[in-house]
Amino acid sequence: MGAPTTFCDFCDKPASQVGSIIVGNRFEGGNRAVAICSECVDLCVEIFKERALAATTEKERDQ
C-alpha cells in the first residue's frame, strides 16, 4: 500500500497532476491541513494583480 495521495483543496487535482502542492499546518481544532497546488497559487497571484490594478485605476480616476 502506497502513501496517501495529496489533493489540492481548491481545484481537487492530485499531486501527480500539478507541479507541486504546499500543505499547511493543521489549523486549531481542525483534523487536517489545507493544501494548495502551484497552479492555484499562480491563479491567485493573477487575481491579486488584477485587483491591485483595478484599485490603482480607480484611485487615479477619482483624482
pLDDT, residue 4, reads: 76
Write down the number of H helices and E strands in the chain. 1, 2
Residue 5 lies in a domain: no
Per-residue pLDDT, averaged over 7-17, amounts to 95
CA 52 → CA 41, 42, 47, distances in Å? 16, 15, 9
| Coil/strand/helix, residue 38 | helix
pLDDT at 62 over 90: no
Q: How many domains does the chain have?
A: 1
Is the pTM for the entire model greater than 0.95? no
Residue-number span of the structural domain to which 51 is assigned:
15-62
In terms of Cα–Cα distance, which of 5, 63, 58, 9 is closest to 33?
Answer: 9
pLDDT at 56 over 70: yes
pLDDT, residue 1, reads: 59
Per-residue pLDDT, averaged over 34-62, amounts to 89
Residue 36 lies in a domain: yes
CA 55 → CA 2, 35, 41, 44, 63, distances in Å? 48, 29, 21, 16, 13
